[in-house]
């Protein structure tokens, strides 16, 4: 399950940006970009759980 979290967080960041820009409230754009930035940091963290096919072939 952890191998899919990277793609989930990337999609979630796009959703945050779309909702944040679309709401047209006072701080919604800044909050949307902030949440998107945090979710992209989590996406980068969970890339270590994506299996490397080159290591599997050597073993």
Length of the chain: 59
Pick the closest to residue 41 from 2, 1, 10 (CA basis): 10
Check pLDDT > 90 for residue 51: no
Q: Is the pTM of this model over 0.85?
A: no
Note whether 39 and 12 are within 8 A (CB): yes
Residue 57: per-residue pLDDT:
67
Q: What are phi and psi of 20, to 5 degrees?
A: -65, -40
Model confidence pLDDT, tens digit, residues 3-38: 899 999 999 999 999 998 888 889 988 999 999 999
């Amino acid at each position: 399950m952890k191998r899919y979290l990277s793609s989930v967080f990337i999609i979630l960041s796009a959703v945050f940006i779309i909702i944040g820009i679309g709401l047209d409230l006072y701080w919604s754009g800044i909050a949307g970009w902030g949440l998107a930035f945090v979710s992209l940091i989590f996406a980068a963290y969970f890339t270590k759980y994506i299996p490397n096919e080159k290591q599997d072939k050597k073993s």
